[in-house]
Chain A
Amino acid sequence: MSDYRLPPYARTMGMEVDHIEDGAPVIAMDFAERVQGRPGFLHGGAIGGLLEMAAHAALRAELDRLGSDSRIKPVNISIEYLRGGVQERTFARGEVIRAGRRVANVRVEAWQGDRSKLVASSWMNFLLAPPKEN
């Protein structure tokens, strides 16, 4: 899982796998002009992008563990913004609630210095599709 390759968008935004926690990657993103919304704070969209990446990575890890090579397609996401993201490194980790045959449900949280003070909380649903035949 440490070789989990983030897509171009995530690399562009400066996201990286910080470490693996109970099988799911913790994705981190440093504060920079490119993720800033209103002056001094993280943009809600950048937080959303980080949450999605952590959800996707957690699900990929869970599917790997189950020996599944299903393709993952995002269906929807709902984000609650709990407090402003300040000029610090931000972390996010997903928890797969259920990975069924066709659908997977993932909870994701984002935090900064203090893990008990969440910046955002969200749920995300994915459609699982069989791998493309070559």
Chain B
Amino acid sequence: MSKDDKAAGLMKTIMPEGFVFDPERGARWFTRAGHTGFLGMEYHDHGEDWIELALPWREDLVGVEETGVLASGPIISLLDNATSMSVWTRQGAFNPQVTLDLRIDYVRAATPGKTVIARAECYQVRRSMAFVRGIAHDGDIADPVAHTAGIFMLVSSEGWSKP
């Protein structure tokens, strides 16, 4: 068995293509390790076509040492993940995808010490692409920290991951 076959096999065992995606269980699974686990992302809430992930404030993720404001990097990661999972939430199934593009507007600095919550919605899925938007806030969604819009490309599971 080649390395790629083995990888594809393992991926199918863990998360087969078209596998029923339970947003809460799925989000917990996808935030347990790797970059998301390292940053400490957590499942927060979900609906039919949206999901919320939370990122608790942490000193070592700060962007401006003097103020304690969270760096924007972790906010990109949070919005990337939340929007990505909103696609699976809308579909009710896991299908491999990659980020095509992501635009983020930083409306204001996140409040030091506060957890940032990303609410992401998938508003359309076409044959090749899924369209998403999202808001990051630190308690009041009417007073957002950041806004995002992005597109995911739906891809074949072959070579999608290399465990």
Q: How far is the CB of A90 from chain B (nearest CB, A)?
A: 13
Indicate if the CB atoms of A77 and B103 lie closer than 8 Å. yes
Q: Is there a chain A Cβ closer than 8 Å to B106's Cβ?
A: yes
Which parts of B104-163 form the interface with A (CB within 8 Å)?
104-106, 109, 160-163
What B residues does A74 contact at CB under 8 A?
A: 72, 106
A36 to B162, CA, bound (A): 11
Which of the segments A18-26, A79-87, A98-106 contacts the partner chain? A79-87
The answer to whether residues A45 and B80 also contact, given A9-B71, A52-B72 and a CB cut-off of 8 A, is yes
Which parts of B71-121 form the interface with A (CB within 8 Å)?
71-74, 76-81, 96, 98-106, 109
Indicate if the CB atoms of B104 and A77 lie closer than 8 Å. yes
Chain B interface, number of residues (Cβ within 8 angstroms): 40
User: Per-position contact with B for A43-83: 1 when CB-CB < 8 Å, else 0?
Assistant: 11110111011000000000000000000011111111100
Indicate if the CB atoms of B71 and A33 lie closer than 8 Å. no
Indicate if the CB atoms of A39 and B161 lie closer than 8 Å. yes
User: Per-position contact with A for B42-80: 1 when CB-CB < 8 Å, else 0?
Assistant: 000000000000000001111111000011111011111
Q: Is there a chain B Cβ closer than 8 Å to A131's Cβ?
A: no
A33 to B101, CA, bound (A): 23
Indicate if the CB atoms of B73 and A9 lie closer than 8 Å. yes
User: Per-position contact with B for A1-42: 1 when CB-CB < 8 Å, else 0?
Assistant: 000000111111100000000000000000001111111110
A33 to B102, CA, bound (A): 23
What A residues does B160 contact at CB under 8 A?
A: 38
What A residues does B7 contact at CB under 8 A?
A: 39-40
Indicate if the CB atoms of A34 and B163 lie closer than 8 Å. no
What A residues does B38 contact at CB under 8 A?
A: 33-35
What B residues does A84 contact at CB under 8 A?
A: 98
What A residues does B74 contact at CB under 8 A?
A: 9, 45, 49
Indicate if the CB atoms of B73 and A48 lie closer than 8 Å. yes
The answer to whether residues A43 and B80 also contact, given A8-B60, A81-B98 and a CB cut-off of 8 A, is yes
A-B contact pairs, 19 of them (CB 8 A): A7-B63, A9-B62, A10-B73, A33-B33, A35-B35, A36-B34, A37-B35, A40-B163, A43-B34, A43-B36, A49-B72, A75-B105, A77-B72, A78-B102, A78-B104, A79-B101, A79-B103, A80-B100, A80-B101
Extra contacts besides A7-B71, A10-B73, A77-B104 (14): CB < 8 Å: A8-B60, A9-B60, A9-B62, A38-B96, A40-B163, A43-B34, A43-B77, A46-B35, A75-B105, A77-B72, A77-B76, A78-B103, A79-B76, A79-B103
